[in-house]
Amino acid sequence: MLQKLERYIFYIFLFSIPFQARKILYFEGWRFNEWQSVSLYLTDLLLLVLFLFWFFSTVRSGQISNLKFLISKQFQNPKSQFQKPDFYLILFLIISAVSIKNSDNQIISWFQWLKLVEFAAFYWYLSHYAFKKFGIFNSFFTLFFSGLFQAVLSITQFLKQSNIGLKYLGESVINIDLPGIASFYMTNGEKIIRSYGTLPHPNVLAAYIFLSLFSFYFIYFYSRIHSEHEPFADPWDKFTAISYGIMVFALFTTFSRVVVFTWFISFCLRAIIIPLRRHYRSIFGTGEARKRIKALLIISFISIVLFSSLYFSEISSRLNISGGDQAVELRVFYAQEALRSGSVINFFGIGLGNFVSWLISENPYMPFYAYQPVHNIYLLMYSETGILGLLAFILLLVFLIKDFVQKTRLNKSYHLSLAVFLGGLLFISFFDHFFWTLQQGRIILWLVLGVLTFYSKGDIIEKQG
């Protein structure tokens, strides 16, 4: 009974990732600023429950008694620690805590450090416990259906050009008359609102749909659930075909230029490289493998052509980027400010989570909406945790990827697919900050790192169907 309850809560958590449902506990000053606030999310509560299940499961299995032995074993060869990702994860947590001594707003900084600890634990929970217990494919199925729900919602918002009233799921209030809404203007002066779903910004929605599309590719290409018939030949396959087309169409309604570009490039890489791998051909056979790619190419092409034909003017207006574009100007400004923050040699930064508070003190007369984190997580880490913090995080990524490549040898096509997707997330991180500052973006990043480590620990693929 408890095992079923734990399983259901885990799937509910995955489905709820995009929901903004939360309680704001604190914010500085009289006017709310997202980056100077403390919030408790529904997903935080679900994670806490899952962590408790994890703890009691570990106690019941007797693994706690082995903890002392495992720790002592780790220190038998101290030099080997410098090649382990966990060493750099712990080091990054320590450096981030030290950086708080430089913070002007220590309440926010300590809260952000606790969030960092929470997601480090989340990463460990997924890679060492959850995926093994609940199944990696089942997790991808849940993410796929969650993304489909967001896709339907985002298309409805785009057609209506306003929210649809799902405030209890955290849907933002959006309409043409509200200032500060993510939008753009067409050449005729018409204002177009970008889709939000139940997420805090269209770019975050685009990243989540990107994750859901990756989940779909994983299921479609590597699960044997489809292997007994032609691609999209039975009712289930027809449903997945329609769902995939809806999700691709919904991705475009976000008008997130970087994420859409990243999805397109990663899709092309999958379509060209992955079917050539012997492992993929061994699952379905060469003929069916080609049919599956062809079917997906056709659906993707239909979605692209349909959206382009219906909204060609909107696409043209959105793609018209100039040096005077406000989004471009602000990104350049934030980057310049991040590079000049702190001391001449910025070892520990200005304090974790303190960039916006520092920006306000340095530039007190800017418009309120302009007080945002630098739109680049690497520059943001450098600014807040210094060169030591950035170096620790980069080394964490390097050794995670090194372990993944060495232990899997990329000998399965889904290994390559995962590497392509992670590369896409790291690329997007050069142009936005939400993977490091917003609840949903953080979950996406640490979830993908958890998947990477899960496959590094052991090549486990369930046979569905």
- Segment holding 5, helix H or strand E: helix 2-16
Residues near 125 by beta carbon (within 8 Å), at least 6 away in sequence: 50, 51, 54, 450
pTM of the predicted structure, to 2 decimals:
0.92
Question: What's the rounded Cα separation, in Å, for the pair 167 and 173?
Answer: 8
Tokens 């067409």 -> residue: 186
Higher pLDDT, 73 or 168: 168
Residues near 391 by beta carbon (within 8 Å), at least 6 away in sequence: none
Q: Which two tokens stand for residue 128?
A: 């060492």
- Residue 234 binned pLDDT confidence (cut-offs 50, 70, 90): low
pLDDT by residue (tens digit) across 334-389? 998 888 876 566 889 999 999 999 999 988 888 888 899 999 999 999 999 999 99
Q: Is the pLDDT of residue 63 over 70?
A: no
285 sits in the region (left: phi over 0; alpha: psi -120 to 50; else beta) called left
pLDDT by residue (tens digit) across 179-202? 778 888 888 888 999 999 999 999
Q: Is the pLDDT of residue 457 over 90?
A: no
Average pLDDT, the chain: 86
Q: DSSP E strands: which ranges in 137-295?
A: 183-185, 191-193
